[in-house]
Structure 1
Amino acid sequence: MNKLKKIKDFNSAAEHYDQDAVMQSIIAEELIERLNYIKINPNRILDIGSATGKNSILLEKIFPDAEIYELDFSLDMLKVSMNKRTSFKKIFSSKKRYFVNADMDQLPFHDNTFDLIISSNSIQWSENVNLLFKNINNLLTIDGLFLFSSFLKNTLIELQQFKVNELTQNFLTIQEYAEILNNNNFYDPVLIRDEYQNQYDDALSALRDLKKIGVTKSEDSHKSLRGKNYLLKLIDHLDQFKKNNKNILSYEVILGHAWKIRNAEEHVIRLMK
């Protein structure tokens, strides 16, 4: 994946991202809703891949006294989030929000900084998920919580079956996420798999939607849709998956959370149960 190209894609999508990324918003809301049933009262929260700040708005309602750090590699996404706050709130609000333009693979924080780290629909852009989870664990305080969602192996299965899967990311399985959590000293993981489908009037609308929200690969070698003949073949391929005369794009999603381990002995005991 060409990250510079991906950043450019998300910068271009920033202004209309809230209107276009409907499914991502639904997933994020379901993820954050889980915090209503988890006993935690964080002082400092990090949102990795915060996009236009919708997560922070929800988190503020649950944890009104917490500091919230929004981190995204797209500066334009962060600008949209910053501009959502009215002048009144900017002047009089006691809520502390910080905006960090950085890559999740190079998190610019000290260890033991955050009580809660959340990432919704962003982990798939990491170049090394195992290292990312290790760094997240280091950033968490003792008994800190990691809450995340991400796309799984069968996401965009309709596109994966076209031309040796040259259009989609290499998504992980839920079993691989469980193993990565275990290898990086997280305990009591709760992992839920869910499925979503978006329907479109035609295949071209589906492809345009993907481009708007930046779900597919970003490679300089994959120039747009490679010309008219390539596009026509891709449309014919997607039409094979129609349901009720609607084009379909499928998403397999993991919703998960796990705690930072206190010590190695506790980790061993919990794994043996």
Structure 2
Amino acid sequence: MTAPAQFVDQRQVRRNFARAASTYDAVAVLQREIGSRMLERLDYVRIEPQRVLDLGCGTGASLTALHERYPDALLIGADLCEAMLQVDRAKRSRLRWLLPFLRGHKTPLLAADASALPLKPQSIGLLWSNLMLHWLDNPLAAFREAHRLLDVGGLLMFSTFGPDTLKELRASFGDSHAHTQRFTDMHDYGDMLLECGFSDPVMDAEVLTMTYASVDDLLTDLRQSGSACAMYARRRGLAGRSLWAEVRTVYGRLARDGRLPATVEVVYGHAWKAARKKTTDGRTIVRFDPQQRHR
């Protein structure tokens, strides 16, 4: 049997974030903003989880905010990159002296693959993931794992990037290599959620525009935040001067008031884990509510 084609190089993803671990917090303005917008959406959700998993927690910005929102819950962080978790551990140790609500709370941090997490089934009440899914070769496997981990009535909430993200950068290259990640349409994510058994998936998107003084500033931002291309189809060697000159010229035509636009399509999704309607072998589950007899 032929193995399915792989598009995302997970080892390169890990390397990119390991190299960016020391610079990530200084440049991750967009990541923190999107995390903040996700937190606002929790204002409309009635949930008091006993355990919260931040999948793709990075250096832990969302973990601190989730601790404040759910002070009685056990917070768990998981990320593919151990170097990012090391930054999180060091930062959390310092924050305990500054933020009283963190004192007495220990947050387990796991270096693990999103599709194979070392946690028990139905052990999580809220599974949170900010800008992680587009780094996976197969988001469907991560959704299946999320469904396994969530308790009945538990909530999956995530954000990721949609297909228009960095469209200006992609269009500026005239070669056959990948220069950004592969970004999935939000409707495809919705279909994946249904396939995995989630109930009432809700998907929406918004378009943000970042601006930069130059193409080089954009590329530096991507590199220092760990967001450089990690596709197998990326260019492996150094690009020549003529290629970079062409990219700067093509992208430069989009400048307005001396700034270059960089489009970011942000996809938000959430879905609930409902009670199973079928057994694992396909038989329908019928539940009977006992009625009290009155004499």
Per-residue deviation, 1:224? 6.4
1:194 corresponds to: 206
What CA deviation, in whole Å up to 9, does each residue of 1:179-206 have, x standing for no partner? 1111111112222201111111111111
Shift, 1:225, TM fit? 5.0
Partner in structure 2 of residue 233 of structure 1: 246
Q: Partner letter of residue 74 of structure 2?
A: E
Moved more, 179-188 or 136-145: 179-188
In the TM superposition, residue 159 of structure 1 has moved relative to its aligned partner by: 2.1
Q: Which runs of structure 2 are paired with 1:1-273 in the superposition (5 Å)?
A: 1-86=8-93, 89=96, 93-161=103-171, 162-163=173-174, 164=176, 166-218=178-230, 222-223=235-236, 226-264=239-277
CA distance in 2, matches of 1:257, 1:241: 35
Give the secondary-structure state (helix, strand or coil) at the position aligned to 2:211.
strand
Asked whether the equivalents of residues 73 and 102 of structure 1 are also in contact (C-alpha less than 8 Å), the reply is yes
C-alpha contact (below 8 Å) 2:23/2:225 kept by paired residues: no
Q: Secondary structure at the match of 1:110?
A: coil
Q: Give yes or no for contact 2:115–2:144 (8 Å, CA) kept in 1.
A: no
The separation in 2 between residues aligned to 1:111 and 1:160, in whole angstroms, is 40
| Superposed CA offset, 1:152-211 (max 9, x none) | 011111122233561112211111111111111111222220111111111111111111
Would the aligned equivalents of 1:143 and 1:262 in 2 still touch at CA under 8 Å? yes
- How many residues align structurally? 265
TM-score of the pair, normalised by structure 2: 0.84
Q: Of Structure 1 and Structure 2, which has the larger fraction of its residues in helix?
A: 1
Q: CA RMSD in A?
A: 2.1
How far apart, in 2, do the equivalents of 1:13 and 1:259 lie? 34
1:264 is aligned with what amino acid? K
3-state DSSP of counterpart to 1:85: helix
CA deviation string 1:92-111 (max 9, x = no partner): 92223111011213222221
**Stretches of 4+ moved more than 6 A in 1?**
none
- Conservation of the 8 A alpha-carbon contact between 2:178 and 2:231: no
Determine what percentage of the aligned residue pairs are the same residue.
29
Cα distance between partner residues in 2 of 1:13 and 1:70: 19
Unaligned runs of 5+ in 2: 1-7, 279-295
| Cα distance in structure 1, aligned partners of 2:141 and 2:113 | 13
> Could you say which structure has the larger radius of gyration?
2
Preserved CA contact (<8 Å) 2:215 2:260? yes
- More displaced 10-residue stretch of structure 1: 166-175 or 139-148: 166-175
CA drift at 1:219? 5.3
TM-score under structure 1 length normalisation:
0.90
Stretches of structure 1 lacking an aligned partner (at least 5 in a row): 266-273
With over 3 angstroms needed to count, the CA separation of the structure-2 counterparts of 1:88 and 1:169, relative to structure 1, is closer
